[in-house]
A = this chain, B = another copy of it.
Amino acid sequence: MTVHETITNMALAARKAARGMAALSTEVKNRALLQMAEALLAQRANIQRENDKDLLAGREKGLSAAMLDRLHLSDKVIDSMVTGLREVAALPDPVGEVTEMSRRPNGMQVGRMRIPLGVIGMIYESRPNVTVDAASLCLKAGNAIILRGGSEAIFSNLALAKVLQEVLVAENIPAAAVQVIPTTDREAITTMLALEEQIDLIIPRGGEGLIRFVSEHSRIPVLKHYKGVCHIFVDSSADLQMASDIVFNSKVQRPGVCNSLETLLVHREVAAMALPIIGKRLAEAGVELRGCPETCAILPYAKAAVAEDWPAEYLDLILAVRVVSNLDDALDHIAQYSSLHTESIITSNYANAQRFIREVESSSVMVNASTRFSDGGQFGLGSEIGISTTKLHAYGPMGLKELTTKKFIVYGDGQIRL
């Protein structure tokens, strides 16, 4: 069988499975999720044996220590997958919820019922635990999923899929509800992206290169975020201790992730006071500051920023810093350079807080809080399948509801249109 045939058959099987999955009861889905948790524990040794093959191949290919670490299905990572499955089982089932039901003048009742999207294609890099996390969320939302992980994790992903599929079959759910693509051939991706009749949504997770490739080649809608260039604006009325705490947390707590801070904007009126407080603590933590001329005049240890610093996603202990004249200047800077991920204002001024919330169009807009909170779990969505920085369908962290859609339902008693 060619790669094209393999993928097409998988997609057809997923489409077929999806129809029945829309009608699965919450009880059946939850039992499967809990059984999957048990099965991962029971088959830990088998899974880790397959994972060892990936680790060995990775070492031979010369993967970095960080990459190998991401690849490793340690006891701790398996335990966290088990916990994740149990958490998803405990989340409310989004399917079947009816909202906006109203009676029309002719007596018909019209409302909207939440239903699964159908078939979801997930394309991701490295971490094999994504296989289980994504499969569990898709199953809970009643979707079939086709998973295409990184080639370096192929043995791990197939081993995990096998465990999940055995549970599905035991629970009378089609095995095609969760499928891992068994080939590392890149043609599998391009084939998948053309199957618009079988796949309803593509979610890529990984570096900007992967996401651009997927979105340029896909005939299927893609939920994506390219990067997170998050800003904090320290307003003239900010509590400077709060500003320092929030900036430090946003930049330093986990610099390698998309909701970490990349650019700090400071109101000119407080720059001479605020920057030394904020800058000293960052510098002591090893953060390299790249400032505008005014910033460098205040902080002698800051380097001069160049044009490339303002749109940069460092994902590292580096921070761009700019002094601005006022809120309008800050809003202009954000409108120009934001990646539509997360921005926060530190202020004690009511009107400025409200303007910032209203006028910044990013997917998460905050007042007096760390950008690091921009996360499905922190926002109370339960688990998160990704973050969207494009405005269609979902915007911001995506939970179970974002894996569903709503259809219109009509209860009539013989109405005809006049």
Task: Tell me if A397 counts as interface (CB < 8 A to partner B).
Answer: yes
A139 adjacent to chain B (CB < 8 Å): no
For A393, what are the chain B residues with a Cβ–Cβ distance below 8 Å? 221, 392-393
How distant is the Cα of A356 from the Cα of B407 in the complex, in angstroms? 13
A241-268 vs B, CB cutoff 8 Å, 1 = contact: the mask equals: 0100110111001000000000000000
The size class of the interface chain A forms with chain B is 35 or more
For A118, A367, A417, the residue with the greatest tally of chain B CB atoms inside 10 Å of its CB is A417
Contact across chains for B361 and A417 when beta carbons are under 8 A apart: no
Whether A417 and B378, one on each chain, are in contact in the complex, defined by CB atoms closer than 8 angstroms, is: yes
Given A408-B363, A409-B357, is A380 in contact with B417 using a C-beta cutoff of 8 Å?
no
Q: Is the CB of A415 within 8 A of B368?
A: yes
Residue A51 at the chain B interface, CB threshold 8 Å? no
Q: Convert A397-411 into 0s and 1s, putting 1 for each residue whose CB lies closer than 8 angstroms to a CB of B.
A: 100000001111111
Report if A181 contacts B (CB, 8 A). Answer: no
Shortest Cβ distance from residue A245 to the other chain B in the assembled complex, whole angstroms = 6
On whether the beta carbons of B117 and A391 are closer than 8 Å, the reply is yes
Interface-lining segment among A55-63, A108-116, A305-313: A108-116
Which residues between 373 and 413 of chain A lie within 8 Å of chain B, taking CB atoms?
373-374, 378-380, 390-393, 395-397, 405-413
| Given known A-B contacts A368-B415, A395-B405, A416-B245, A216 and B216 have beta carbons under 8 A apart | no
Q: Contact at A392–B395, with CB atoms within 8 Å?
A: no
Whether B407 and A361, one on each chain, are in contact in the complex, defined by CB atoms closer than 8 angstroms, is yes
Q: Are B369 and A108 in contact (CB under 8 A)?
A: yes
Q: Which residues of B are found within 8 Å of A369, using beta-carbon distances?
A: 108, 410-412, 414-416
Across the A-B interface, the 3 shortest Cβ-Cβ residue pairs: A369-B412, A249-B416, A366-B410
Instruction: Give 29 CB contacts A-B under 8 Å.
Output: A19-B361, A22-B359, A23-B359, A96-B358, A102-B380, A200-B390, A201-B391, A201-B392, A221-B390, A239-B414, A245-B414, A246-B414, A250-B416, A253-B417, A357-B409, A363-B408, A364-B408, A366-B409, A367-B410, A367-B411, A367-B412, A369-B411, A370-B415, A370-B416, A379-B408, A392-B392, A392-B393, A392-B405, A395-B406
